[in-house]
A and B are shown apart, each in its own frame.
Chain A
Amino acid sequence: MDFNYKQNKEELILELSGSFLNYDNEKVKESLYAAAEDSGVRIITVKAGGLQKWDSTLVVILCRLVEISRRRKIRYDFNGLPVHLQRLIELAFSVDRKPAHDEPEQLPFLENLGTKGLNIYGDVKKGLHFMKDCFASLGRLLTFRAVFRRIDFLFALEDCSYRAVGIISLVSFMVGLILAFVGAIQLKTFGAQIYVASLVAIAMTRIMGAIMAGVVVAGRTGASYAATIGTMQVNEEIDALKTMGVPVTDFLVLPRLSSLIISMPFITLLADAMGIIGGGVVGVLMLEISPEEYIKYTQNALNMKNFLVGIFHGFVYGYVIAVCGCYYGINCGRNADSVGVATTKAVVSSIVWMIVVTGIITAVMEALKI
């Protein structure tokens, strides 16, 4: 390609010939622009008699020359260009509106702090309002006034119960195994390795079974709730429900909430059992405790109080996970990104709230001497 320019008194002449493709010589382009900026230049002329092929890299240069001409209020003569190329340059300048893109306002420190505080207050209020709606839906369910499809409930129940059995069993088994290993290291030094059975049984039934079940269900089912409902938000399905007058919490939240509340205690039971079996494997195979003895010590350690406390935790976690998943799904934005954000928030907040609720329940149990 050939790219020559020369200044003839007040006229800057750019001559183009050959194939002008993929041109990216910044140095030459800058010198051309500098020549066009020269105060002596009053007209820019482009001659392209020998121009064969061209692409957008040439259009970029010509558009820049037009910009310079317009800014400097000098003439430009592009009549030597192919007609199509002239038309393209015309098209590039045909719409010249400035978009209104408001820069975010920089607030003073105190105002910024206050705004953030108000935002947090707004979020908390919204969350509490949603929880109130969920309780109201549960109330309508108990009085047979809730509007939801039984098939949705059964699907949700299937998804969070027997479809979760494999992963819950594996994780809980491994946790039981780890608990037994960690306990055995200390207990062995006192020759009390037989108490590994008691340690695993108490830990799993009182809290660990419920926590492990909760973490797995939050990552599996809670995330799925947020993604499913979030996608419905993107597809305007939630708007359709609202305009049809169908209560969103009844139709979307209730089947998921009730199925998780029902299934979580059973999932917790399964996690307890698998954890105890995991601990048993370590006890019998590594610590050389006989299976009969391990079972006997496990039975002695198990009591109804710990057992019910664990089940209660599972029940509460079910509520927390379902509410977090559905809340972030319903409050999801309108694009693909926001579904990902909603899913992440649902899982993180489920786990955080599970820990917070565990702390509260433990403190209350302690106060009640349970």
Chain B
Amino acid sequence: MKNDAVRIKAENLTIAYGDFVLMKNLNFEVENNDIFIIMGGSGCGKSSLLRILTGLQSSPTGRFLIDGMDFSHSGENRRAELMRRCGILYQSGALFSSMTLGENIALPLQQYTDYSPKLIKELVDLKLSLVGLRGFADFYPSEISGGMAKRAGLARALALDPEILYCDEPSAGLDPISSRLLDDLILDLNQSLGTTFVIVTHELASIFAVGTNSVFLDAETKSIQARGNPKELLRNPPNEKIHNFLTRGEKTHG
């Protein structure tokens, strides 16, 4: 029976580069309205897993489903249709440097909708307002800071009102205040738009601030070592490795 609450379901996924296997038999479910964190140490395959979930890389085994529809084995048209419902925030923002922020956000709207130029402009202004960049439509990516570029990238990812938003290391390279503001924004968007977030990160502050569910990838065993709410995992770590990760390896005093 199809569970309507499940947005993404991964079944036996493998992350591999040629013969080199990073992760195997990955099974997890992302529920509707979740802020799902994919965490783990450096080089464990978090970003590769995100590449698989966004169709940029294929998994040699298994499959994953979006709203019950098989993404892994779909044809190009079905994939495009499913990806139309997803937005992606890349680690660096990945804004097109030759376009203004407004043009960056307008691009998916021009590509996928029949909206009039006036409505597209209004939507661009709205998306920029939502990420706190009202009035920055005519700025080029080179004219704004790293934190602003991340938020502009988020505005572009939100352009088509995605149901699922993938974020690759959203707080990487940001100062603590900008990082916190971005976390607040993710929470706001999750609550107001009902967007499901899948976030790859190893920033502990962000994990605890926004995460409602998570998986912990372990490079040594090449498998998921823990799953659940990050705060709950911190309270009751299933093993020493998770405890060390979530407490930055700091010893408890007292």
Which A residues fall within an 8 A CB radius of B? 22, 24, 26, 55-57, 59-60, 63-64, 84-85, 87-88, 91-99, 101, 333-337
Given contact pairs A56-B126, A60-B126, A95 touches B116 in the complex (Cβ within 8 A): no
Which of B126, B134, B191, B194 lies in contact with A95, CB distance below 8 A? B134
Which of B122, B136, B188, B191 lies in contact with A60, CB distance below 8 A? B122
The interface residues of chain B lying within 8 Å CB-to-CB of A26 are 116, 118-119
B97 at the interface (CB under 8 A from A): yes
Closest Cβ of chain B: how far from A180's Cβ, in Å? 45
Which of A85, A92, A97, A101 lies in contact with B130, CB distance below 8 A? A92
Inter-chain contact A92/B126, CB cutoff 8 Å: yes
Given contact pairs A59-B126, A335-B141, A337-B97, A87 touches B188 in the complex (Cβ within 8 A): yes
B161 at the interface (CB under 8 A from A): yes
The interface residues of chain A lying within 8 Å CB-to-CB of B126 are 56, 59-60, 63, 92
Within 8 A of A (CB), among B85-118: 97-98, 113-116, 118
Inter-chain contact A91/B135, CB cutoff 8 Å: no
The interface residues of chain A lying within 8 Å CB-to-CB of B192 are 84-85, 87-88, 91
Identify 11 residue pairs between A and B in the complex whose beta-carbon atoms are under 8 Å apart, listed by A's number: A22-B115, A84-B194, A85-B192, A91-B129, A91-B192, A92-B129, A95-B129, A99-B136, A101-B143, A335-B97, A335-B141
Expressed in whole angstroms, the Cα–Cα distance for A56 and B122 within the complex equals 10
Inter-chain contact B139/A93, CB cutoff 8 Å: no
Closest Cβ of chain A: how far from B143's Cβ, in Å? 8
Expressed in whole angstroms, the Cα–Cα distance for A59 and B193 within the complex equals 11
B127 at the interface (CB under 8 A from A): yes
Since A91-B130, A91-B192 are in contact, a sample of 7 more A-B pairs with Cβ atoms closer than 8 Å, ordered by chain A residue number, is A26-B119, A60-B122, A63-B126, A95-B133, A96-B134, A101-B143, A337-B97
Within 8 A of A (CB), among B128-180: 129-130, 132-136, 138-139, 141-143, 161
Given contact pairs A84-B193, A88-B193, A92-B129, A99 touches B139 in the complex (Cβ within 8 A): yes
Nearest residue, chain A, Cβ from B120: A24
Inter-chain contact B130/A335, CB cutoff 8 Å: no
Inter-chain contact B139/A101, CB cutoff 8 Å: yes
Expressed in whole angstroms, the Cα–Cα distance for A33 and B192 within the complex equals 25
Closest Cβ of chain B: how far from A248's Cβ, in Å? 23
Inter-chain contact B129/A57, CB cutoff 8 Å: no
Closest Cβ of chain B: how far from A42's Cβ, in Å? 26
Which of A56, A64, A85, A94 lies in contact with B161, CB distance below 8 A? A56
Inter-chain contact B130/A88, CB cutoff 8 Å: yes
The interface residues of chain B lying within 8 Å CB-to-CB of A337 are 97-98
Closest Cβ of chain B: how far from A62's Cβ, in Å? 10
Closest Cβ of chain A: how far from B129's Cβ, in Å? 4
Which of B119, B188, B189 lies in contact with A24, CB distance below 8 A? B119
Which B residues fall within an 8 A CB radius of A? 97-98, 113-116, 118-119, 122-123, 126-127, 129-130, 132-136, 138-139, 141-143, 161, 188-189, 191-194
Expressed in whole angstroms, the Cα–Cα distance for A284 and B236 within the complex equals 89
The interface residues of chain A lying within 8 Å CB-to-CB of B189 are 91
Given contact pairs A26-B119, A101-B138, A56 touches B132 in the complex (Cβ within 8 A): no
Expressed in whole angstroms, the Cα–Cα distance for A96 and B133 within the complex equals 8
Which of A22, A91, A335 lies in contact with B142, CB distance below 8 A? A335
Closest 8 CB pairs of A and B: A95-B132, A88-B192, A87-B192, A92-B129, A335-B97, A60-B122, A84-B192, A55-B161
The interface residues of chain B lying within 8 Å CB-to-CB of A22 are 113, 115
Expressed in whole angstroms, the Cα–Cα distance for A44 and B133 within the complex equals 27
The interface residues of chain A lying within 8 Å CB-to-CB of B138 are 101
Given contact pairs A56-B127, A93-B129, A99-B136, A87 touches B191 in the complex (Cβ within 8 A): yes
Inter-chain contact A24/B139, CB cutoff 8 Å: no
Inter-chain contact B130/A84, CB cutoff 8 Å: no
Nearest residue, chain B, Cβ from A64: B122
Inter-chain contact A99/B119, CB cutoff 8 Å: no
Expressed in whole angstroms, the Cα–Cα distance for A56 and B128 within the complex equals 12
Closest Cβ of chain B: how far from A82's Cβ, in Å? 9
Closest Cβ of chain B: how far from A334's Cβ, in Å? 7
Inter-chain contact B134/A336, CB cutoff 8 Å: no
Closest Cβ of chain A: how far from B113's Cβ, in Å? 7
Closest Cβ of chain A: how far from B206's Cβ, in Å? 19
The interface residues of chain B lying within 8 Å CB-to-CB of A57 are 115, 119, 123
Nearest residue, chain B, Cβ from A84: B192
Expressed in whole angstroms, the Cα–Cα distance for A61 and B139 within the complex equals 25
Nearest residue, chain A, Cβ from B114: A24
Expressed in whole angstroms, the Cα–Cα distance for A80 and B194 within the complex equals 19
Expressed in whole angstroms, the Cα–Cα distance for A101 and B119 within the complex equals 24
The interface residues of chain B lying within 8 Å CB-to-CB of A336 are 97
Nearest residue, chain B, Cβ from A63: B126
The interface residues of chain B lying within 8 Å CB-to-CB of A55 are 161
Closest Cβ of chain A: how far from B48's Cβ, in Å? 22
Closest Cβ of chain B: how far from A36's Cβ, in Å? 15
The interface residues of chain B lying within 8 Å CB-to-CB of A97 are 134-135
Expressed in whole angstroms, the Cα–Cα distance for A335 and B123 within the complex equals 27
Expressed in whole angstroms, the Cα–Cα distance for A354 and B98 within the complex equals 31
Inter-chain contact B132/A60, CB cutoff 8 Å: no
Expressed in whole angstroms, the Cα–Cα distance for A94 and B188 within the complex equals 11
The interface residues of chain A lying within 8 Å CB-to-CB of B114 are 24
Closest Cβ of chain B: how far from A39's Cβ, in Å? 25
